[in-house]
Amino acid sequence: MNSESDPDAAAAFATHDHSACMGETLVRAEAEAARRGARLTPVRRRTLEILLESHRAMGAYEMLDRLAAEGFGNQPPVAYRALEFLVENGLAHRVRRLNAFAACMHPGEVHAPVFLICRACDSVAEAPGAPVRAALDEAAAALGFTIERANIEALGLCPACAGKDAP
């Protein structure tokens, strides 16, 4: 199963050319928004950019600070609405364990977001989770349950921190 056809995911914890991956993802996100007829307004677009630039999960209030500093509104709904829009349109994900949001690294692709959260360094990786989702769908189907959205989040140690932590 490590033969994932997704290089980005494999490099999630590794260093990479972030400005490039950010630009590409933003382009794909814009295409996806257009495809869905979703209006990527200035606040929304900037919110997505900030998520992509930071390349980590970010709380709504931290996002609000960033937006307010750039001249947008400075009240909670400004951030929450933009973030909600992004989530609704598959351009970002909500990481409930962290009360935070992260840009989707695979906008437009069918994928199951699986978040791996390092408890030591707080890094968050969006791992490919198609098999996980398949197993989840199966478990739900066995009970007659229809899944519309799923949150799959794991807490543990990333490769770097696992090395330091347990010798």
Partner DNA sequence: GTTATTTATGTTATATCGTAACGCGTCAAG
Partner DNA sequence: CTTGACGCGTTACGATATAACATAAATAAC
Binding site for a copy of itself (CB under 8 A): 1-2, 4, 9-10, 12-14, 96-97, 114, 116, 118-119, 125, 127-129, 131-132, 134-136, 138-159, 162
Asked whether 95 and 117 are in contact (CB, 8 A), the reply is yes
Instruction: Examine residue 13 and tell whether it contacts DNA (CB under 7 A).
Output: no
> Which C-beta is closer to DNA: that of 42 or that of 163?
42
Span interacting with DNA, options 27-35, 71-79, 117-125, 146-154, rule CB under 7 A: 71-79
> Which C-beta is closer to DNA: that of 23 or that of 42?
42
Q: What is the largest CA-CA distance in the chain?
A: 52
Instruction: Examine residue 119 and tell whether it contacts DNA (CB under 7 A).
Output: no
CA–centroid distance for 62 within its chain: 16
Q: Provide, rounded to whole angstroms, the least separation between the CB of residue 42 and a copy of itself.
A: 30
**Residue 105 to residue 86: CA distance in whole angstroms:** 12
- Tell me which of a copy of itself, DNA, none is bound by residue 142, counting a contact when its beta carbon lies within the kind-specific cut-off of 5 to 8 angstroms: a copy of itself
Sequence-distant (6+) residues with CB within 8 A of 49 are: 26
What is the four-CA torsion angle of 60, 65, 66, 68, rounded to 10 degrees? 120
- Tell me which of a copy of itself, DNA, none is bound by residue 42, counting a contact when its beta carbon lies within the kind-specific cut-off of 5 to 8 angstroms: DNA
**Residue 45 to residue 52: CA distance in whole angstroms:** 11
Asked whether 33 and 71 are in contact (CB, 8 A), the reply is no
> Which C-beta is closer to DNA: that of 59 or that of 108?
59
